[in-house]
Structure 1
Amino acid sequence: MFDEDWVYFQAPPAEMTFINRIIEGCDYLGVVTALDGRKGLGFVRTTKDTAGETKEVLQSLPIPVRILSRQEALAAAGQQ
């Protein structure tokens, strides 16, 4: 259900909409989905080709964004 190629992240919950709009503006990167919006956990549905660039975009934002592994994100969301 949760693909290894997707980019998982954690950011301040109040910034999830901002992240969504930035990724939407880069329309070829992927689609943002909240895993647990209250915890600021989300992922971008990417391909192998766009995952690296998506990570770069997320880490270049003027807000703290932590890139997570799939396992870290699911554990933080309580979805082992």
Structure 2
Amino acid sequence: MNADLYVQVEPRNINYLNRIMEGYEYLGMVTTLDRQAGILRIRCTSDTRLETQELLSTLKIPLRFLSDSIVAALGKRE
């Protein structure tokens, strides 16, 4: 099972989210799929996916979780 998360943030918040994830280095690694649209992939393991989702949900920035099918339809999946 793919444990990756896909999220969308305002482009100005990409670096912020990346820095937060760097601080929690064991949770996941951020890859920018579309800088202009703010679409990011967070590579997690099945053991860290839920904790990563919970952490992202607490951030004080607008953030939207995207389904695999939405990302695939946008042609942004790596």
- Measured on the aligned residues, the alpha-carbon RMSD in Å equals 1.5
The structural deviation recorded for 1:73 is: 1.9
The structural deviation recorded for 1:16 is: 0.3
Q: Percent identity?
A: 42
More helix by share: 1
* Distance in 2, Cα, partners of 1:10 & 1:79: 12
AA of the residue aligned to 1:60 = T
Over 3 Å counting, the alpha-carbon distance change for 1:79 and 1:41 in structure 2 is: closer
- What runs of 5+ residues in structure 2 fail to find an aligned partner? none
Q: TM-score normalized by structure 1?
A: 0.87
AA of the residue aligned to 2:26 = Y
Q: How does 1:1-80 map to 2 (within 5 A)?
A: 4-76=2-74, 78-79=75-76
| Conserved? CA contact 1:30–1:44, under 8 Å | yes
Over 3 Å counting, the alpha-carbon distance change for 1:79 and 1:21 in structure 2 is: closer
* Distance in 2, Cα, partners of 1:6 & 1:46: 5
